[in-house]
Homo-oligomer: A and B are copies of this chain.
Amino acid sequence: MGHSQAEKTQTHDRIVRIAAERFRKAGLEGVGVADLMKSAGLTVGGFYKHFGSREDLVIEALQEAMRQSRERTKTLMAQGKHGPFAALVRAYLSPEHRDCPETGCPAGALSGDAARGGPREQELFAAYIDKAIEGVSGMIATPAPGKARAHAVAAYSTLVGALILARAVGPGALSDELLKTASDHLIAAFGPTSPD
């Protein structure tokens, strides 16, 4: 079998990418090492040739998920037809995003787990969420100068909260209402043509 350095890097990245999906779908404790390796087409044995511990993979997978999420947001902003904020809100609170946590925002999928996680996970989330708030602050309508950050904190909290709640209540009218109502409210309150 191939054991070249290039192939090892590929394998490593493949495990991390798969873990980044599986963890978002099943939670940080919801999927085991053997299962992950099988999903990557490998067996358990090789795992510790790539990672010092399961915890190390969790960290790498979180970094990968966050990298993907920032990338996705950047792409979305680049093609923005409507205002960038409205486009972000519509995508974030779309039924598609709600129904596909495995490729979505790690804050929406794993914040609850991070709250019970170790300092390494929490530091990653702190950096990710701070950057996300800064990003939002750059796209909302800011009437009072110096208020952009505060508005962004509120808007981002609403985004993540509505998404998590929409997932928690299971499929149904309430879930759809949460997405649509929070979406409309955010665009009305912070969109380009907002009052205040």
Question: Which residues of A come within 8 Å of B, CB atoms?
Answer: 25-27, 29-30, 101, 107, 109-116, 119, 122-123, 125-126, 129-130, 149-151, 153-154, 156-162, 164-165, 167-170, 172, 174-175, 177-178, 181-182, 184-186, 189, 195-196
Q: Which residues of B contact A164 (CB under 8 A)?
A: 111-112, 115, 160-161, 164
Residue picked from A25, A123, A125, most chain B C-beta under 10 Å: A125
Top 7 A-B pairs, shortest CB-CB distance: A112-B112, A161-B161, A122-B170, A115-B167, A157-B161, A154-B185, A157-B162
Q: Which residues of B contact A119 (CB under 8 A)?
A: 170
In contact, A115 and B161 (Cβ under 8 angstroms): no
A–B complex contacts, Cβ < 8 Å, 10 sampled: A111-B112, A114-B167, A119-B170, A126-B170, A130-B169, A154-B158, A157-B161, A157-B165, A158-B161, A160-B165
Q: Which residues of B contact A122 (CB under 8 A)?
A: 168-170
Q: How far is the CB of A129 from chain B (nearest CB, A)?
A: 6
Q: How far is the CB of A136 from chain B (nearest CB, A)?
A: 12
In contact, A181 and B150 (Cβ under 8 angstroms): yes
In contact, A154 and B126 (Cβ under 8 angstroms): no
